[in-house]
Amino acid sequence: MAWRPYVITNIYGNKKVMRDTKLYKTREEAIRAIKVKNKRWMELNYDKAYSNASNFEYGAVEVGKDGYKYKKGVSGNKKLLSDINKMQKSSINFFGIKF
C-alpha cells in the first residue's frame, strides 16, 4: 500500500488540512517528506511568527489502489480532518490522557 502525507494547521483556532500530491511507500517516509515540503513552503511565503502560530500537525493516511482514500478537493480534506478528530478523541482514556 501507499501512504499520502498531510499537514494540519491550527492557526487562530481554525483547523485545516492539506494533502500532498505524492505517495510514499511508508508512513514514516511520507511524514518526513511533508515536514520538509511544508517548512520550505512556509519559509518562502510567510514569516516565522505566522509559521509558529500555525501549530502544524503531520501525518499520513494509507490509500487504496487508486491513491485516494478521500475525494479530491475541499470535501475530501474536510472528511479527512473529521476522521482525524474522531481518532484523536477515541485515543483519550477515561483519565483524559492521550496515548
- Tens of pLDDT, residue by residue over 10-41, are 988 889 999 999 999 999 999 999 999 999 99
Q: What is the pLDDT of residues 77-97, one digit of tens each?
A: 999 999 998 988 776 554 455
Q: What is the pLDDT of residues 37-73, one digit of tens each?
A: 999 999 999 998 988 888 899 999 999 777 889 999 9
CA distance 53 to 50: 5
- Cα 62 to Cα 3, 14, 27, 82, 94, distances in angstroms: 4, 25, 8, 16, 29
pLDDT at 91: 65
Domain regions of the chain by residue span: 2-64
pLDDT at 71: 92
